[in-house]
Amino acid sequence: METIFYSIFTLLSFGWLHRYLVVRRISASEFFIYPDDTKTSLEFPNVSVLIPARNEEKNIARCIQSLINQNYPNLEIVVIDDRSTDKTSEIVLSISKKHNNVKLVQIKHCPDGWSGKNHAITNGVKEANGKYLIFTDADTVHYPLCIKSAVKYAMENNVDLLSINPHLITKSFWENVIMPVAGAVLMIWYPVEKINDVSESHSYANGQFILFNRDAYFKIGGHSAVKEELLEDLALARKIKKEKLNLKVLWGPDIYQTHMYSSLKDIWRGWVRIFYHGFQKNLYTIFMSLFLMVSFSILPYALFIFSFFLLPNPTPITLSIILYAFLLYIIMSAYKLAKSNKWYAFSHLLGCIMVCGILIHAASKIIFKRKITWRGISYSS
């Protein structure tokens, strides 16, 4: 029994040491973008921010106002109302009457073969004049230096597509339990150091904030080239990498924020969609994620219990405590880095169990060819 314990303990120790090194590596400043208002000789060009919105009456005004308040000289805001049945259009029209840099584009119909968001954005781009195109979601709030900092970084580093991960606001219990764990699973398969390396094929983008050089956007065909994709951000990133263009992904919790989901139902449904399309309907990736989750995130807790109740030797108990403390330290460090509530590190086991359930649900969608429902619309697999 002790031989089995020591073998598993050794394996888990190396696994969590690797995770520790990953957390240390991505905490490097090169992977972060911060508010930047330093003097520069750059001439800031016109920028168009496009916001696709479907039934976003609760969020849209706050998002637009945060963009109106930007410390940026040449900014236009294009809101595309994608067949909303609430007051989204009325709210945007009211704001546009007070601010002439706010435009509203209304979509009444989505053709077959398109996802609603891609069709909406394609129509919105026709009204956009900026040298840089920024695509963002209605549930985001942008701090005053967000646009200026992003554009400055893109210009100084000749970036064709810059995507920035936000400060993820988590309010409810289930948000705090599930969201950090689910996000970590996604990042395992999308390592930022490889994504940012032009010689690597890895690609990723976060649709909550995508900045495009206009020429690069049209070179890859824009959103019409990925018209059927429900995770168009990842599809666009793949096309950028395929064309050997410059893709950069950064963390920017100090320049903008988002609140994605509130209820457990929305969290579950949202992450089923993300895993389903984010892993490109690849069962191997989903089941490997499950294997890694069980082996390295759930097994340490089982080992901890095993050592207490089934082994008379105090050494395994001591080692289990040390491993758990190390695990907790790494999780807290990762949560702190992402500006999540570090005390929810103690709910890590529950989060892992829930995310395993979401992964299994995503796998069942693929196996049984079930439809994905998003924003009230069902899409065929």
In this structure, the strands spanning 247-251 and 47-53 are unpaired
Q: Which pLDDT tens digit goes with each residue over 80-104?
A: 999 999 999 999 999 999 999 999 9
334-358 burial, b at 16+ Cβ within 10 Å, e below that, comes to bbebbbbbbebbebbbebbbbbbeb
For the chain, the structural domain boundaries read: 2-26+280-379, 32-166+206-262
Q: Among 255, 175, 153, 241, which residue's Cα sits nearest to residue 208? A: 255
Amino acid of residue 15: G
How long is the chain?
A: 381
Q: Among 270, 280, 174, which residue's Cα sits nearest to residue 237? A: 280
Q: At residue 379, does pLDDT exceed 80?
A: no
CA distance 247 to 262: 31
For domain 32-166+206-262, is the CATH number 3.60.21.10?
no
Q: At residue 123, does pLDDT exceed 70?
A: yes
Q: What is the pLDDT of residue 314?
A: 83
Q: Among 367, 330, 362, which residue's Cα sits nearest to residue 21? A: 330
Q: What is the pLDDT of residue 170?
A: 93
Q: What is the pLDDT of residue 378?
A: 56
Q: Is the pTM of this model over 0.85?
A: yes
How many Cα atoms are found within 13 Å in the side-chain-facing hemisphere of 103?
A: 16
Residue 233 CB partners (closer than 8 Å, separation 6+): 163, 205, 206, 207, 210
Q: Which pLDDT tens digit goes with each residue over 219-275?
A: 999 999 999 988 899 999 999 999 999 999 999 999 999 999 889 999 999 999 999
Q: Which pLDDT tens digit goes with each residue over 39-71?
A: 888 899 999 999 999 999 999 999 999 999 999
